[in-house]
Structure 1
Amino acid sequence: MSNVVITIILAVQMLSALAMIVLILVQHGKGADMGAAFGGGSSGSLFGASGSANFLSRTTAVLATVFFVCTLALAYFGNLRPASTGSVLQGSSVVPAGTASEVPVAPTLPASGAAQIPAK
């Protein structure tokens, strides 16, 4: 059940990210409005003179909110750990449970020849 929810949230996050990219690239900058105000461009567009800026910016804000909510939900579901019955690290460690307590010992080097020379 949890994997289905995570997959749905991930799909919604990816779709909102792609839609945000498209909407941000479609929007005009601040300098483009000055040219349209002085007759340099066609201000009679589909949404009107300033209607497209309001519509696109509000839609981008809604998509950004959906994206951040999906990100928080994925972070929440990513930190959930199932209740374990055995080891503390069961299912969440690469190291098997039996070998976690074994500490490797460094091999001892044989005594060098300098240690065998008597001091005066």
Structure 2
Amino acid sequence: MFYLLVVLHVIVCVFLVIVVLLQQGKSADLAGAFGGQGSQTAFGPRGAANLLTRLTTWCAIIFMLTSIGLTILMQKRTGGHSVLEGTKATQSVPAKK
């Protein structure tokens, strides 16, 4: 189960990088080069979500879920322990007056 989740996580990571790099920027057209946004909205024109934006959203959701799943599986696999488990506890002595 762990290795299947790792493979799925790596595939989703690579696919997410590719999908994000394929997307066109918000102001990548000719009007954006000269400062024109083509709309009076605060953050520029917002078109309908196309296939790439939906793929990006779903890849991000799957990436987060696999990250949480891997964290839970690693916690169960290695057993819960503290980072400070092997250190010696020192007690401070109050200063003499």
**TM-score normalised to structure 2 length:** 0.58
Q: Which residue of 2 aligns with 1:28?
A: 24
Which structure is higher in RCO with an 8 Å CA cutoff and minimum separation 6? 2
> Unaligned stretches of 5+ in structure 2?
32-46, 89-97
Larger Cα-atom Rg: 1
Amino acid at match of 1:60: T
Rounded Cα–Cα distance in structure 2 between residues aligned with 1:56 and 1:35: 21
Rounded Cα–Cα distance in structure 2 between residues aligned with 1:72 and 1:58: 21
- Output one character per residue of 1:68-113: Cα deviation in whole Å (capped at 9) or x when no partner: 1100000001111589xxxxx9xxxxxxxxxx8xx9xxxxxxxxxx
Rounded Cα–Cα distance in structure 2 between residues aligned with 1:19 and 1:79: 27
Rounded Cα–Cα distance in structure 2 between residues aligned with 1:10 and 1:76: 13
Rounded Cα–Cα distance in structure 2 between residues aligned with 1:25 and 1:68: 19
Q: Are 1:62 and 2:58 matched, yes or no? A: yes
Rounded Cα–Cα distance in structure 2 between residues aligned with 1:81 and 1:60: 31
Rounded Cα–Cα distance in structure 2 between residues aligned with 1:70 and 1:82: 18
Shift of 1:35: 2.9
State how many pairs are aligned: 67
Q: Percent identity?
A: 22
**TM-score normalised to structure 1 length:** 0.48
Q: Aligned with 1:28: secondary structure?
A: coil
| RMSD value, Cα | 2.9
Q: Which runs of 4+ in 1 moved over 6 A?
A: none
Seen in structure 2, the aligned counterparts of structure 1 residues 78 and 59 have a Cα distance that, compared at 3 Å, is same
Seen in structure 2, the aligned counterparts of structure 1 residues 82 and 30 have a Cα distance that, compared at 3 Å, is closer
Amino acid at match of 1:9: L
Rounded Cα–Cα distance in structure 1 between residues aligned with 2:51 and 2:26: 15
